[in-house]
Amino acid sequence: MKDLDDLDVLAVDRSGMLGLLLDLPEQLHTGERLGQQADLPSAANIRAIVVTGLGGSSISGDLLRSYLHAACPVPMLVNRHYSLPAFVGSDTLVCAISYSGNTEETLGAFEEARARGAQLLAVTSGGQLAQMAGQAHVPCVQVPGGMPPRATLGYLFTPVLVVLARLGFIPDQKAPLAETVEVLRELGAQFRPGVETFRNLPKALARDLGGRLPVIYGTQDFSDVVAYRWRTQFNENSKVLASHQAFPELNHNEVVGWQGPLADALDVWVVLLRDTQEMGRVARQIEITKAFLRERAAGMTEVWPQGDSRLARLLSLLYTGDFTSYYLALLRGVDPKPVEAIDRLKDQLASA
């Protein structure tokens, strides 16, 4: 197995994914400014918010939904399809997020929202979505281009968050954003390649996960979205399969699957995403399940958040996963950036 403390392993990161990872706190800053400067859709009579997008763009919608679970007075839904649910109409705010601006499912949903008279906000680096928003006089947040969508979370998530605050759906976000930027800067420094494995959690975890199936467990309406992000970052950066689920739901189905043959055959390593503010009964469930899993998994790592605000806690857990997937790519000797399977599918769709 490669030695992550030998900095020669970085040579495989030919596209500079490390720089993009380290840039997340600064992206939050820029995203906040873009959100402050954005033209606003109308919030009058809005009874639901839908974020529509795919892949690395849609994760911002999931994060908003989880983060605002207890703060947003109207229901939020994340849509990942060409079409929208039947309830979407003039009393719905639809935020269409596509980093490239050319994802056909997102463009389809944008068009449908427009036809149904929904209030719209577009977030993109350009492409057809920027054009369509311009033609329809829809507020459009234009973010810097030229990066892999999954590495632009700060640009895509933060403007929508700030717009929702400016529209009065949620409280002002300056304080949690400021804390989150500080926490992520600190973590970025701790997770740098120059920091040895014995005091660098993502490096140590990547080493444990090498050749194994990562199974990531979060908790409903908080770190469930982060568990999903860990999984998709393992898919796209490290080019491996992974699985995720959330407490308490997993204790009502997935836990039984651990008694079957695949649990042994797949050599599973469990990552538990914990929180300092877990509900007491959920913490109890996690402790009971830990004892059960300890007898069945190859190993288990608990990851705890940093910071006080809900936003800092969520994004610190997410950032730890982003770095872990990066180091797992280096261990496997694969460039974290290219996603050939996705590019091939999009090319084939475009010519079909």
- Of the candidate residues 92, 106, 200, 306, the single one contacting ligand F6R (CB under 6 A): 106
Taking CB under 6 A as the binding criterion, the range among 10-18, 131-139, 146-154, 167-175 that sits at the site for ligand F6R is: 146-154
Report, in Å, the least distance between residue 127 CB and ligand F6R. Answer: 8
Out of 28, 143, 187, 339, name the contact with ligand F6R by CB under 6 A.
Answer: 339
Q: Interface with ligand F6R includes 305 (CB under 6 A)? A: no
Give the integer Cα–Cα distance in Å for 288 and 290: 5
Query: Phi then psi for 346, rounded to 5 degrees?
Result: -65, -40
Rounded least distance, CB 102 to ligand F6R, Å: 7
Q: Provide CB contacts within 8 A for 333, sequence distance 6+.
A: 2, 12
290 assigned to active site: no
Query: What span, in angstroms and rounded, lies between the C-alpha atoms of 63 and 227?
Result: 11
Of the listed pieces 51-59, 166-174, 215-223, 274-282, which binds ligand F6R according to CB under 6 A?
Answer: 51-59
Q: Which of 60, 103, 180, 251 binds ligand F6R (CB under 6 A)?
A: 103
Query: From CA 8, how far away is CA 116, in angstroms rounded?
Result: 55
Residue pair 272/302 in contact by the 8 Å Cβ criterion: yes
A 10 A CB-CB count for 294 gives 11
C-alpha 63/C-alpha 153 separation (Å) is 10
Nearest-approach distance from CB 232 to ligand F6R, in angstroms: 7
| Binding region for ligand F6R (CB under 6 A) out of 41-49, 143-151, 180-188, 272-280 | 143-151
User: From CA 177, how far away is CA 309, in angstroms rounded?
Assistant: 9
2 is catalytic: no
Nearer to ligand F6R, 226 or 297 (CB): 226
240 and 266 Cβ atoms separated by less than 8 Å? no
* Positive/negative CA dihedral, 342, 76, 305, 243: negative
Active-site residue (options: 32, 112, 179, 236): 236
Does residue 55 touch ligand F6R according to CB under 6 A? yes
Out of 4, 18, 38, 54, point to the residue binding ligand F6R (CB under 6 A).
54
* φ and ψ at residue 78, rounded to 5 degrees: -105, 125
249 a catalytic residue: no
Q: In the set 31, 56, 159, 193, which binds ligand F6R (CB under 6 A)?
A: 56
Question: Which residues is 268 bridged to in the sheet?
Answer: 213
Give the Cα separation of 272 and 223 in Å (integer): 10
Q: Tell me, residue by residue from 63 to 82, as one string, x for binding to ligand F6R by CB under 6 A and - for no binding.
A: --------------------
Residues with catalytic function: 236, 252, 346
Binding site residues, ligand F6R, CB under 6 A: 53-57, 98-100, 103, 106, 148-150, 236, 339, 342
